[in-house]
């Protein structure tokens, strides 16, 4: 697993990535019972887009200079830009390549994992 060290050892980002993985798997199971294998694959793809983008966000932020306020702000912008770029590329790839995609399952898992990523501020330090 990628060692992410954003705040105090990266615990909040790792916690949120774990939440996203759980939500993706549950979404895939629900989509599989509703739409079969293509529904499950669609939900997995929708969720994993944000899981990988979140991991890249953490990786970029952890390896950036945060010794000054300007450096911390620059690190945040670089990490967010990397995340948004990766999401856009992955969305484009999935929507152009996977012809049997179940859009409801795909975007349902995608938006659920987007919401979960914003919950990082609520992840407790232990």
Total-model pTM: 0.81
Domain assignment present for residue 21? The answer is: yes
Burial class (CB in 10 A: 0-12, 13-18, 19+), 105: buried
Domain assignment present for residue 1? The answer is: no
Q: How far apart are CA 93 and CA 95, in angstroms?
A: 6
Domain assignment present for residue 40? The answer is: yes
pLDDT of 116 higher than 50:
yes
Domain assignment present for residue 36? The answer is: yes
Helices 11-62 and 69-97, interaxial angle, to 10°? 100
Domain assignment present for residue 2? The answer is: no
- Each residue's pLDDT tens digit, 81-109: 999 999 999 999 999 999 999 999 999 99
Domain assignment present for residue 105? The answer is: yes
Scanning the chain, the segments in alpha helix (DSSP H) are 11-62, 69-97, 103-118
Domain assignment present for residue 126? The answer is: no
- Which domain covers residue 108, as residue numbers? 11-120
Domain assignment present for residue 93? The answer is: yes
- Each residue's pLDDT tens digit, 28-52: 999 999 999 999 999 999 999 999 9
The number of domains in the chain is: 1
- Each residue's pLDDT tens digit, 46-88: 999 999 999 999 899 888 777 788 888 888 899 999 999 999 9
């Amino acid at each position: 697993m990628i060692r992410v060290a954003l705040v105090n050892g990266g615990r909040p980002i790792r916690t949120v990535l774990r939440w996203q993985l759980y939500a993706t798997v549950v979404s895939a199971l629900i989509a599989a019972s509703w739409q079969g294998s293509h529904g499950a694959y669609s939900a997995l793809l929708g969720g994993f887009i944000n899981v990988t983008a979140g991991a890249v966000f953490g990786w970029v932020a952890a390896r950036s200079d945060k010794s000054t306020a300007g450096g911390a702000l620059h690190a945040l912008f670089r990490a967010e830009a990397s995340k948004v770029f990766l999401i856009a590329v992955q969305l484009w790839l999935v929507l152009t390549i996977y012809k049997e995609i179940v859009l409801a399952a795909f975007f349902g898992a995608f938006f659920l994992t987007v919401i979960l990523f914003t919950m990082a501020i609520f992840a407790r330090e232990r």
